[in-house]
């Protein structure tokens, strides 16, 4: 079949990530070299720099933070002298027990399922690059687009904690404090957003060609 | 865009010649399906009017209380900024900065920055630093999480309803409207319009 696809890389062109202008690649241009887009001033690399290494580092960091995020309490509710700590999962279980399963589902999907799904997808995509997978590049690109889209929704729990803390300041009757789990959880969300940003889906297609030569 | 242009797909790098796209149409990558180019109807006017509405709603949303809680005669109300401050007071500085960035700063910079770039453009002028400002706004977009915050409000209402009486504040409604307006502004904005005004290569 075809050996070289007509890509910007093969045509010695650089595509600006911000305004999509194509410019000619300078004669000497390494992997870590950057050109400046003549139209919008953005730095252009041929591929996102150190994409695989950076994404691995961020994904592993996020996996590590994911543990304290779920084990540690995200907030402590003091009511009538009794203190009770809530983790993300205990919040989900509470809503299931009280019969409010739609809310339980929202929190479970946003806070437990989405971060894990995102991390597993990124791990899978990274591994598929290492083994030079040829399997369904179009669907793998689609998977990448999904991870870019869904990550933000994990912030829901952070906002809930923010509002609860601000509202429930009733002194002896009830008081709510943020607990360290919330910080770790926020770290997971932010790190996975950066991880998705540092992954370059064009590498999926580059590997497809490397096999053909 | 009157003549065909060559574009490389940002997801798979395939070079494609794109014929002129009619208003309201879009071009997709033939290999991976990513959206390469779209032309919105009346993009500048629509986006500008939505941004103007958005700026007004933004001030309303932050000036008035969001929720009010009533329990055994005690009343407690909060604005978004008081939530940020409450986190800061409990020594969760990073967390409070994150909420400040994603719910107040990013949406505000996004709205005012777009206004700064698009208003002069509407009258065929170019504001100073347009490329830098516009690039910055586009980069900031993933960090503007108003719609997620709205879901957070709904979840907290349900959560607190067991504990006390919750009274929705004025800004709850303006928040709801702001989210629609922001989503509309992002959807009606055609970034290529801005880039094409800058011409090819000369700033």
Residues B2 and B92 occupy one common structural domain: no
Q: Region B73-90: what's the mean pLDDT?
A: 88
What pLDDT does residue A184 have?
Answer: 95
Name which of A1, A152, A167 to mutate to probe chain B: the one with the most chain B Cβ atoms within 10 A of its Cβ: A167
Of the candidate CATH numbers 3.30.70, 1.10.3470, 2.60.40, 1.20.140, the domain formed by A50-212 belongs to 1.20.140
pLDDT tens digits, residue range B131-145?
999 999 999 999 999
Distances (CA, A) of B138 to A192, B110, B191: 19, 8, 9
Residues B64 and B149 occupy one common structural domain: yes
Contact by Cβ (8 Å): B168, B67: yes
Residues B78 and B148 occupy one common structural domain: yes
Q: How many CB atoms lie within 10 A of CB A199?
A: 26
A11:B15 CB<8 A = yes
Contact by Cβ (8 Å): A75, A205: no
What pLDDT does residue A142 have?
Answer: 93
Residues B149 and B61 occupy one common structural domain: yes
Chain A segment 64-93 residues within 8 A of B by beta carbon are: none
Dig out the tokens for A128 from the structure. Answer: 């598929």
How many beta-carbon pairs under 8 angstroms link A with B? 196
- List CB contacts (< 8 A) between A17 and chain B: 10
pLDDT tens digits, residue range A28-52?
887 878 889 888 888 999 899 999 9
Residues B19 and B51 occupy one common structural domain: no
B87:A178 CB<8 A = yes
A75-79 and A43-44 beta bridge pairing: unpaired
Q: Which residues contact A56 (CB under 8 A, 6 or more apart)?
A: A126
Q: Identify the band that residue B48 occupies on the pLDDT scale cut at 50, 70 and 90.
A: very high
What pLDDT does residue B91 have?
Answer: 85
* A86 has a pLDDT exceeding 80: yes
* A212 has a pLDDT exceeding 70: no
Does the CB of B200 have a partner CB in chain A at under 8 Å?
A: yes
Is residue B203 a part of any domain in this protein? no
Dist CA B167 CA B65 (whole Å): 10
Domain that holds residue B141: 40-197
A155:B66 CB<8 A = no
Q: Which residues contact A85 (CB under 8 A, 6 or more apart)?
A: A73, A75, A76, A77, A179
* A207 has a pLDDT exceeding 50: yes
What pLDDT does residue A171 have?
Answer: 67
Chain A segment 89-118 residues within 8 A of B by beta carbon are: 98, 100, 103, 106-107, 110
Question: Among candidates A186, A121, A115, A49, which has minimal Cα distance to B103?
Answer: A186
Question: Among candidates B199, B186, B28, which has minimal Cα distance to B114?
Answer: B186
Residues B46 and B93 occupy one common structural domain: yes
Q: Identify the band that residue B201 occupies on the pLDDT scale cut at 50, 70 and 90.
A: very low
Chain A segment 137-156 residues within 8 A of B by beta carbon are: 137-138, 141-142, 144-145, 152-153, 155-156
Q: Region A136-146: what's the mean pLDDT?
A: 92
How close B26 comes to chain A (CA, Å)? 15
How close A203 comes to chain B (CA, Å)? 8
Is residue B55 a part of any domain in this protein? yes
Residues B35 and B104 occupy one common structural domain: no
How close A74 comes to chain B (CA, Å)? 12
Instruction: Give percent above pLDDT 90 in chain A.
Output: 51
Does the CB of B151 have a partner CB in chain A at under 8 Å?
A: yes
A163:B10 CB<8 A = no
Residues B26 and B103 occupy one common structural domain: no
Residues B16 and B71 occupy one common structural domain: no
Residues B32 and B55 occupy one common structural domain: no
Does the CB of B126 have a partner CB in chain A at under 8 Å?
A: no
Question: Among candidates A124, A148, A147, which has minimal Cα distance to A136?
Answer: A124
Residues B156 and B96 occupy one common structural domain: yes
Dihedral sign from CA coordinates of B122, B124, B126, B132: positive
- List CB contacts (< 8 A) between B38 and chain A: none
DSSP letter for each residue of B110-159: HHHHHHHHHHHHHTT---TTHHHHHHHHHHHGGG--HHHHHHHHHHHHHH
Find where tokens 């509710």 sit.
Answer: A77
* A210 has a pLDDT exceeding 80: no
- List CB contacts (< 8 A) between A142 and chain B: 32-33
Is residue B188 a part of any domain in this protein? yes
* B195 has a pLDDT exceeding 90: no
Does the CB of B32 have a partner CB in chain A at under 8 Å?
A: yes
Is residue B202 a part of any domain in this protein? no
Residues B35 and B60 occupy one common structural domain: no
Domains of chain A, by residue range, sit at: 1-46, 50-212
Number of domains chain B is built from: 2
Name which of A94, A165, A203, A204 to mutate to probe chain B: the one with the most chain B Cβ atoms within 10 A of its Cβ: A165
pLDDT tens digits, residue range A104-123?
999 999 999 999 999 999 99
Q: Which residues contact B20 (CB under 8 A, 6 or more apart)?
A: B1, B2, B3, B4
Dist CA B114 CA B133 (whole Å): 8
Name which of B152, B183, B200 to mutate to probe chain A: the one with the most chain A Cβ atoms within 10 A of its Cβ: B152
What pLDDT does residue A1 have?
Answer: 44
Chain A segment 5-24 residues within 8 A of B by beta carbon are: 5-9, 11, 13, 15, 17-22
Residue among A18, A103, A144 minimizing CB distance to B135: A18
B14:A6 CB<8 A = yes
Question: Among candidates A180, A154, A194, which has minimal Cα distance to A69?
Answer: A180
What pLDDT does residue B40 have?
Answer: 86
- List CB contacts (< 8 A) between A41 and chain B: 131-132, 135, 203
């Amino acid at each position: 079949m075809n050996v070289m696809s007509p890509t910007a890389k093969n045509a010695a062109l650089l595509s600006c990530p911000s305004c999509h202008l194509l410019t000619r690649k300078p004669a000497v241009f390494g992997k870590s070299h950057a050109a400046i887009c003549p139209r919008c001033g953005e730095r252009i690399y041929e591929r996102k720099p150190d994409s695989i290494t950076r994404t691995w580092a961020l994904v592993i960091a996020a996996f590590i933070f994911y543990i304290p995020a779920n084990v540690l309490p995200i907030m402590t509710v003091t009511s009538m002298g009794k203190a009770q700590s809530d983790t993300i999962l205990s919040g989900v279980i509470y809503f299931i027990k009280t019969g409010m399963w739609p809310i339980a589902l929202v929190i479970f999907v946003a806070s437990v399922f989405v971060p894990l799904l995102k991390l597993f997808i990124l791990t899978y995509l990274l591994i598929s690059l290492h083994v030079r997978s040829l399997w369904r590049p179009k669907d793998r690109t689609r998977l990448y687009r999904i991870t870019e889209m869904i990550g933000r929704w994990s912030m829901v729990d952070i906002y809930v904690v923010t509002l609860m803390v601000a509202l429930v300041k009733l002194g002896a009757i009830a008081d709510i404090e943020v607990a360290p789990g919330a910080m770790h959880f926020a770290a997971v969300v932010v790190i996975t957003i950066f991880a998705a940003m540092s992954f370059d889906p064009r590498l999926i297609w580059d590997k497809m060609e490397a096999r053909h030569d | 865009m009157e003549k065909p242009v060559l574009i490389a797909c940002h997801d798979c790098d395939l070079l494609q010649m794109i014929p002129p796209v009619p208003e309201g149409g879009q071009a997709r990558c033939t290999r991976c399906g990513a959206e390469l180019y779209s032309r919105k109807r009346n993009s500048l006017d629509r986006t500008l009017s939505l941004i103007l509405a958005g700026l007004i709603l933004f001030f309303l949303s932050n000036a008035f209380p969001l929720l009010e809680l009533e329990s055994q005669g005690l009343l407690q109300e909060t604005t978004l900024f008081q939530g940020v401050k409450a986190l800061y007071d409990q020594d969760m500085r990073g967390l409070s900065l994150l909420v400040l960035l994603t719910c107040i700063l990013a949406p505000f910079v996004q709205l005012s920055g777009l206004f700064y770039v698009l208003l002069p453009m509407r009258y065929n002028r170019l504001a100073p630093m347009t490329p830098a400002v516009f690039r910055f706004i586009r980069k900031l977009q993933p960090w503007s999480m108003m719609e997620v915050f709205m879901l957070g409000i709904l979840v907290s209402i349900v959560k607190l309803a067991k504990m006390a009486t919750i009274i929705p504040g004025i800004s709850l409604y303006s928040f709801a409207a702001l989210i629609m307006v922001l989503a509309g502004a992002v959807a009606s904005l055609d970034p290529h319009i801005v880039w094409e005004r800058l011409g090819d290569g000369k700033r």
